[in-house]
Amino acid sequence: MQVKVFVTPRKGILDPQGRAVEGALKSLGFNGVASVHVGRYVVIEIDAPSKAAAEAAVKQMCDQLLANPNIEDYRVEVDAG
Amino acid sequence: MKWGVVRFPGSLDDGDALYALRSILGQDAAMLWHKDETLGGADCVVLPGGFSYGDYLRCGAIARFSPIMKSVLRFAAEGGLVIGICNGFQILCEAHLLPGALMRNRSLSFICDFIYVRVENAQTPFTRAARVGEILRLPIKHGEGCFVAPAEELAQMEERGQVVLRYVDEAGIESDAANPNGSMRSIAGVANDRFNVFGLMPHPEHAVEKMVGGEGGLKIFQSIIGGAR
């Protein structure tokens, strides 16, 4: 089973990287850009008895390692392959 | 006093920390390998600067799972003194021994410079040789030194005196311009609520000799040594 993890800077926390990319996009002429946030995308292949079990395991991985709960949020998507 | 300086794969400043402790301060300091499971009887453990494990994922996130960190966690829980410098500070935050987190510098640039910090709490084991309000000139060299913590936690830290060092200008005034990396409330160094664990972004181990880098870092080490006597 494949699990996708999207880690993003927590809303309201300064995201200088997102701001820099936003500025660059605007200078390219993409004036409709309201905001940009740059995060991390992690793909995990995992053996699990069910989608729910895979999701639960990956959420634990996020809490313990993949995301920093002080500054980041994460979202988990399970693809039953 | 016995010191242990942990060497992780990617540590850079372990050598300077050992040099400062041994050659300048006459201490009994040993290098500890990240795969060691004991701390060799150290009274104070130093987590040095560098790029442990290539800073993969987040700075300090992988080093936190090194075998030696189990012993460091136990040692800290028993009240042992732990000081984390730069990458060591990041590791202590990732290991939840210190509150908050260190993010990319506001400028997105790696900064290598001399800065000034003001001692906000001189009652900790790491600052007791200094005076409250004393200004120390120290070098910084980091890309991820922007300290952040939730507002509630920050308020608690301030109340308890856990904000130990703050970036200021030469005259001791806090300002946006004197804050090199955008840290919340200009925070440069913090302690845990028991005051036996301390992390700071500036490098006291690079500032122990008049001729190179000045002596701004001596106060930190002298505080720790003085307390052990």
CA-to-CA distance for B39 and B30, rounded, in angstroms? 9
Instruction: Please give the structure tokens belonging to residue B173.
Output: 């005034």
Render pLDDT for A40-72 as a digit per residue (tens, 0 to 9).
999 999 999 999 999 999 999 999 999 998 899
Are A68 and B106 inside 8 Å of each other by CB? no
Largest CA distance in chain B: 45
A12-24 average pLDDT score: 88
Separation between Cα atoms, residue B117 and residue B211, nearest integer Å: 20
Distance of CA B117 to the CA centre of its chain: 13
- What is the phi-psi region of residue B108: left when phi exceeds 0, alpha when psi lies from -120 to 50, beta otherwise? left
d(CA B12, CA B31): 13
Strands (E), B144-195: 146-148, 163-168, 187-191
- What's the half-sphere exposure (Cβ side, CA atoms, 13 Å) at B47? 34
The count of CB pairs under 8 A between chains A and B is: 36
| Interchain pair B148, A17: CB under 8 A | no
| Closest CA relative to residue B179, chosen from B191, B171, B187 | B187
Band of residue A81 on the pLDDT scale cut at 50, 70, 90: low
Q: b/e string for B86-106 if b means 16 or more Cβ within 10 A?
A: bbbbbbbbbbebbbbbbbbbb
Task: Characterize the bridge pairing of strands B2-7 and B81-85.
Answer: unpaired
Core vs surface per residue B6-39: b (16+ CB within 10 A) or e: bbbebbbbbebbbbbbeeebebebbbbebebeeb
Q: Show the low-confidence residues of chain B (pLDDT under 50).
A: none
Amino acid at B103: M
Taking alpha carbons only, the member of B83, B88, B106 closest to residue B195 is B83
* The pLDDT value given to residue A14: 80
Whether residue A34 has pLDDT greater than 80: yes
Instruction: Report the gap between the CA of B90 and the closest CA in chain A (Å).
Output: 12
Q: In degrees rounded to 5, what are phi and psi of residue B51?
A: -135, 65
pLDDT value, residue B228 = 63
Q: Which amino acid belongs to residue A2?
A: Q
The reported pLDDT for the residue numbered A15 is 86
Q: Which residue of chain A has the CA closest to B59? A: A68
3-state DSSP call for residue B147? strand
Condensed to tens digits (0 to 9), the pLDDT of residues B15-44 reads 999 999 999 999 999 999 999 999 999 999
Per annotation, catalytic residue among B86, B94, B142, B146: B86
- Enumerate the domain spans of chain B: 2-228
Average model confidence (pLDDT) across chain A: 92
**What does the alpha-carbon distance between residue B35 and residue B6 come to, in Å, rounded to a whole number?**
10
Q: What is the pLDDT of residue B213?
A: 87
Interchain pair A66, B106: CB under 8 A: no
* Stated pTM of the model: 0.92
Residues paired with B199 in a beta bridge: B84, B190
Query: Is B190 in the A-facing interface, judged by CB distances under 8 Å?
Result: no
State the pLDDT at residue B229.
54
Q: What is the CATH number of domain A2-79?
A: 3.30.1280.10
Q: For residue A68, list chain B residues with Cβ-Cβ distance below 8 A.
A: 58, 61, 94, 101
CATH of B2-228, one of 3.20.20.370, 3.30.70.20, 3.20.20.150, 3.40.50.880: 3.40.50.880
Evaluate whether A69 touches A59 at the Cβ level (below 8 Å).
no
Specify the amino acid at residue B204. Answer: P
